[in-house]
Amino acid sequence: MESPNLTRHTRTGSLASAPSEAWRRIYRSSFGRAARNYPFAVVGLVIAVLFLAAALFPGLFTQYDPVKMSLTDRLLPPSAQHWLGTDHLGMDVYSRVIYGARLTLMVVVAVLAMATGIGLVLGAVAGYLGGRVDTVLMRITDVFLAFPALVLAIAINATLGRGLAPTVLAVGFTWWPPYARLVRAQILAGKNEEYVTAARAVGASPIRILVRHVLRNCFDPILVKITLDGGFVALTTAGLSFLGLGATPPTPEWGRMVAEGREFLLTDWWIVTFPGLAVCLIVVSSNLIGELVRDWLDPSGIRRA
């Protein structure tokens, strides 16, 4: 008969070894090899996780209301009470940076979802159907690519008016052309493969072939581009808010915070520095993660530096 103490010890040992075994599997996986070959990506992952945690659970990081004004506490330098100081209206800068991460994450997700959806549909239709459909759709794409994305976003945002929703629509509507080009190239490369020809031979419909067989090869490059574009979407959104076209005050948005504090740059530097640093960190983090994902999904093997 098995001893209860031995059984308890065995179960405890197995539970204790489970996390270590999971870490070993990650370490030995292709993702782990990519992380070892590109160690700076770990820094990007840590930054991204911190921003994600701040966006999802801002109350765990700060106790101050990001829009509460206190004129008696205006323009206080960083201290133990206000870690990043206060702005010209007495609002806690650290709290506004933390809650600004939530707004930035929402905008990035909405813009990339919109751009990916439009680009995926137009690129897939153009690449698979070809002919005049391809010509018309790609000429429309070229028209959008002919204008700088930021300038076009400013024009659209100014037409739609101020606010967060017009900003998302403006940036998303100017961000889809590269995705359409990318998907079209992948469709053209894959629609004449042998497995696609075999699917046609057994009577599969064009939509089934496109969805079940051809589009699968588009997901990896799209994922890489999404991770690379996340930081630049945040930067573009902050730029629109800096120009007064994005979030309206007193919404805690990083670009708006920089715009409001630029008058105090020489005397009260912390008002501009920390939201600007947050934008910088999210761009760097996005690029580092994008490099990691590209190495991880590289079909030819892990690239060596």
Q: Please report whether residue 70 resides in a domain.
A: yes
**pLDDT greater than 70 at residue 2:** no
Average pLDDT over residues 39-47: 84
Q: Within 13 Å and on the Cβ side, how many CA atoms surround 237? A: 37
Range of the domain at 90: 59-287
**pLDDT greater than 90 at residue 291:** no
Q: Where are the alpha helices (DSSP H) in the chain?
A: 4-28, 30-37, 40-56, 93-129, 131-146, 149-160, 164-175, 177-190, 194-201, 206-209, 219-242, 254-261, 270-296
Q: Please report whether residue 22 resides in a domain.
A: no
Contact partners, residue 88, CB within 8 Å, separation at least 6 = 74, 75, 260, 261, 263, 264, 268, 271
Q: How many CB atoms lie within 10 A of CB 80?
A: 5
Please report which confidence band the pLDDT of residue 304 belongs to, taking 50, 70 and 90 as the band edges: very low
Q: Please report whether residue 166 resides in a domain.
A: yes
Please report which confidence band the pLDDT of residue 238 belongs to, taking 50, 70 and 90 as the band edges: very high
Q: Please report whether residue 95 resides in a domain.
A: yes
Q: Please report whether residue 125 resides in a domain.
A: yes
**Number of compact structural domains in the chain:** 1
Q: How far apart are CA 171 and CA 156, in angstroms?
A: 8
* CATH number (domain holding residue 210): 1.10.3720.10
Q: Of all residues in the chain, what percent carry a pLDDT higher than 70?
A: 86
Between 47 and 4, the higher pLDDT residue: 47
The pair of three-digit structure tokens given for residue 105, joined into one six-digit string: 């994450």
Highest mean pLDDT among 135-139, 157-161, 193-197: 135-139
Q: How far apart are CA 183 and CA 17, in angstroms?
A: 43
**pLDDT greater than 90 at residue 25:** no
**pLDDT greater than 50 at residue 302:** no
Please report which confidence band the pLDDT of residue 15 belongs to, taking 50, 70 and 90 as the band edges: very low
Are residues 231 and 287 in contact, defined by beta-carbon separation less than 8 angstroms?
Answer: yes
Average pLDDT over residues 138-147: 92
Please report which confidence band the pLDDT of residue 19 belongs to, taking 50, 70 and 90 as the band edges: low
pTM of the model: 0.83
Q: Please report whether residue 248 resides in a domain.
A: yes
Q: Please report whether residue 105 resides in a domain.
A: yes
**pLDDT greater than 70 at residue 12:** no
**pLDDT greater than 60 at residue 212:** yes
Q: Please report whether residue 163 resides in a domain.
A: yes
